[in-house]
Amino acid sequence: MKDRILNAGSFFNKKDIQGHVKNHVTHVKSKKAASEVFHDDNGDVRRAELFGKNLIEKLLKNTGGKEVAGIRIYYGHAPEDNDGNIKNGGKLRPRLFLVPVDENGNDIDIDSSSLKDDPSGGGVGGGLPCPQACNEQ
């Protein structure tokens, strides 16, 4: 379990993140009540998403030498399977995407040269969503 938590999430390219953010805006605008945005068909509420320390460290180290002043967290809606994994063809669900930001508030494209899955800018997403992967308190 510790390894799963430390490595939770994956890199996404800028185009995919922008598409998921656009899906979120469209979804929110189509709802009559804000509470509908985070409910699924079963009435479960998306409460959180966990990103592992290892993934966050990789994100911060791959900024092409640019200093990171913060992390912007984008709301998105991405297709996912029943286990909460982002997969094409799944049902759209609320997701979070983390992108490094410089001191002027501009998104920093990440340097994909040292990352095997070549995300072409962007950031990280695909953390462990709650309620699928969270311990009830």
| Domain ranges within the chain, ordered by starting residue | 2-130
CA-CA distance, 106 to 121, in Å (whole number)?
13
Threshold 0.75, pTM exceeds: yes
On the question of pLDDT at 137 being above 60, the answer is: no
pLDDT tens for residues 13-41?
A: 999 999 999 999 998 888 767 677 777 77
On the question of pLDDT at 93 being above 60, the answer is: yes
pLDDT on residue 110? 83
pLDDT on residue 135? 75
pLDDT tens for residues 79-92?
A: 998 888 999 998 88
On the question of pLDDT at 136 being above 70, the answer is: no
Helix (H/G/I), strand (E/B), else coil: 51: coil
DSSP code string of 69-134: -EEEEEEEEEEE-TTS-B-TTSEEEEEEEEEEE-TTSPBPPP-GGG-TT---S-EEE--EEETTT-
Tell which wins on pLDDT, 33 or 101. 101
Torsion sign across C-alpha atoms 31, 80, 84, 15: negative
